[in-house]
Structure 1
Amino acid sequence: MCESNVYILDANGERSLIMESVDKIVPGEKDVYLENIFGERKTVKGHIKEMALVDHSIILAK
């Protein structure tokens, strides 16, 4: 399986889960579009900070 969980970093550097089983990510200028295998969609303000695909995690920052 190639899905990843997406987290966002808060001001303290703690990460919070935004969405599980994400298989589509489209970065924009000021936001990131996410879509998971269940058809759920979400747009989050921020940018991609780190992608650890072996660990199936993607970290976003505001």
Structure 2
Amino acid sequence: MEDEERPRPQDKGAASHRLGQSLDALSLAEFDERIALLRLEIERLERARAAKAASLAAAEDVFKK
């Protein structure tokens, strides 16, 4: 597993986000941190999805021959 694919431990002070959690107590800076964190996670998921799709396509090509 490549380093960027491994889950990263969160620092005690690092932002984290749970889907559906209350947003009422967040400051503007905390919103910005969480948005940045979620964007990075989305990018990571998109890269992993693209890699899996490429792998599946390659496997299909091998078995079609």
- TM-score bracket relative to the smaller structure: under 0.3
Tell me the TM-score normalised to structure 1 length.
Answer: 0.21
Structure whose residues are more often strand by fraction? 1
Higher CA-based Rg: 2
Structure whose residues are more often helix by fraction? 2
